[in-house]
Structure 1
Amino acid sequence: MEYADLERLFATQRAVRLFASRPVDDVVIETIIAAATRAPSARNSQPWRFVVIRERATKERLGEVFDELGSQMYGAGAPERTPWGDVPVLIAVTSEYAFGSTESGLAALGASIYPAVQNMLLAAHSLGLGSVLTTRWKAREAEVRPLLGLPETMAVHAIIPLGYPAERMGKNRRRAASEVTYRERFGAPWN
C-alpha cells in the first residue's frame, strides 16, 4: 500500500450517523472485527471482546439511553442520526478489566481498546460502510451492561453504529497539523 492510499482513507473517514436500511452481511462484520484484532495492545493482552447487536429491541433500548443523555448534554442541538433501532448493526466493544481498575490499569486498557476501535472505523470506511464511535452512554454504563449480557467484571468502551451511509459524504474538514502541533513545549509554534 502506498501512503497516498492510506492518506485518502484518513481524509475521507467521517462520523456517519445517518444509515440506509441496507443490511450488513456477517462476513463484512467479521472482516471489520478481524481488523480490530490486529491492533496493538498492552502486553499483547488482546483484551477486547465484541458484541454484535442486531436485535431491534436491544438497539432501541440502547438508543433510548443514548438519546436521553444527548438531550441532557445538547438539548435540541444533538446531531441528527438514524434511530438506533433502525441502524443495521451496533457493535459494542467490551473487555474484562485486564489490568485492574487503578488509574494506570484503566489507562493501559484504553490504550489497548481504542486502537482496535480505530481499526474498526477505518476498516468499515474502506468497505464502504459508515460508523461512528460513541461513548456518551458511559454515564449510564450500569444500565447498558445487562442489555448486553455482561457481568460486572466487564466494561463497555464503545458502541459503534454500523451500516451503509444514507448519503454520500465528502472529505472531512480538519485543522492543518501545523495548527495543532508544538515544538518542545505547548504553545511553542511548530513552524
Structure 2
Amino acid sequence: MPAAPYCYVPEESPFLEGSQLKTKSVYFDAEEEDGSINSFQTFYSSFYDEETSESSSMSTSNPYEDSTESDEIECDYILPTPDILLLTSRYNLPDPQEKTKPKFSYTLANGKVLELENPLPSCLPIEILCEGEETEEPEEPAQASDNALYVTSAVCPIAGYIAALILKSKRPQLARRLKNISNVSMTVLGSILLILLL
C-alpha cells in the first residue's frame, strides 16, 4: 500500500514552525472493495506533486538575476546657484503699476485733498470728515515780552487769564498758551492749598 505523508500538529502547541512539525505515515487502501481507486488518495497525490514542483522551481530561481549593480547614480537634476536664484526671483516680481492700487481723492471744505485706498460709502457725506478739523494758523514770531508773560501766568494765574483775554484777537496762539499755563498753575496752587488746609 502506498504511504502518503501528512503533518501532525499537537493541540497544545498550535503555532509551530515548519521545522518543528512531526510527520507520520498513513496507509490508504489503493483499491476499494469494488476495485475503484480511492478519490482522496488521487487528489492528495496530485496536490502534493504540484506543491513540490513549485517549491523546487522557487528555490532554484533567482529573482534578482535581471538586476545589475551600478556604482554610479545618474541624476539629471542640477542644483541652481545663488546668482541664478537671484535672477529668477527678479522675474517673479510684479509690475509696480500692477502692485499699486488706485487711490480715491476727495476734496474737503477747507480745500484739502484727501486720498483714500478704498472709496467712501455713498451714504456718508464728505462734510463729516472735516467737522472736527481745525484750520492751521501761521506760526507767530516770538517777542521778548513773551517770556515775561509766561512767568507771570505761572506765578499768578489770574494775571495770565487777563493777558489771554487781551491778546486773544491780536495773538491767538500766545493767548492760548497763556491760558494753558494759567490752568496748570491754578491746579498746582489749588492742590497745595488743599494739602496745607488738611
TM-score tier (shorter): under 0.3
* TM-score (norm: length of structure 2): 0.16
Highest Rg: 1 or 2? 2
Identify which of structures 1 and 2 has the higher relative contact order when contacts are C-alpha pairs closer than 8 Å and 6+ apart: 1
